[in-house]
Chains A and B, each alone.
Chain A
């Protein structure tokens, strides 16, 4: 039986469209734009720092964000604060124990309400599991998601073409919930930690 070439073209187009629906965004960012900043109160000045050792993959259909799934991992030893002694304490076994707990992670479990803000930007409600110091807690947060089709080339001098996905979110955790010196040194280091997430994921495409 001969299949008309027009039918083949339609099938190919449908197949290609189905393939293009879900994109795999890699959140390893060699440019250093992606980071998770943290801030917590302390007597002399608040402790502010960042973590840039970000990796992970999220599968996203830009037209249907509610199906997004994936995991973002932050290398504990990539946490930086401006004071070197403070950083040494932070990564020591008394606090984060970076040697035994090399990763901090967030895994998407469910994407709830999606609110379209503009053609490429949406606000989503995300439920996920946040793991810190080998303790996992469920976290519900809102995130701004911006899909930038074709923008990857601008960050790679057009060596690699593809799309970018920007994710921004702020949420708070308590160190006591993760067993980090729970109830101790509360006059020096606050229990509540504010996290400011700013991630850029890239999905290369073949031209």
Chain B
């Protein structure tokens, strides 16, 4: 899910990544609405609220919403900064760090909410700010590594794309286009996962309260571990093959690692 970058990603990679991250985004968004009465990934709404508060002259709210918007932006900034600077060294590590940071943010919200939260306005705003940063990280990472094919909290654009795609499917030539069909599958899987996550979060919040953020972190942990597990399998297989035969095929290496080495290079797997 995380190893591959941009054009070397397959539809399956994007669907897996999109579905799992959309699930967590839906869960976080509904949990934040129920607990704090404010969305975390509805950035369009925040811009509208910012305009409304400016008109009303509520400068405190203007400052708060501006801070939230900035932190979402900063999350995307940090995610892509990490990807572009570390991608060449190790793409898996570069793509995992933003998710790891997101997990840290959500776990921090869960722990603070469960043990220290006294429901003051300042605490509410800080926790929301942290969650907006986390959502920015997630959206920035998924957009960056999927070449903007996957954006798990940008449902406005996603719904627009779905509308456009379905109108295109009224023509047979587009219905038979595998790229368009693949894109529709990807977008539908993101929307469905987001909804499932949102509904699930709405139910379990009643029983778990702030612990719901630990559950979200667990889903994100699966995203990180999934690729790490596959890498371990690849290493194990390659070390076994070295005992029986000195080299493995380039196709097998690229399949396992997502790296396409040049044919004349001596290949080694990790």
Q: Verify that A and B bind, or say they do not.
A: no
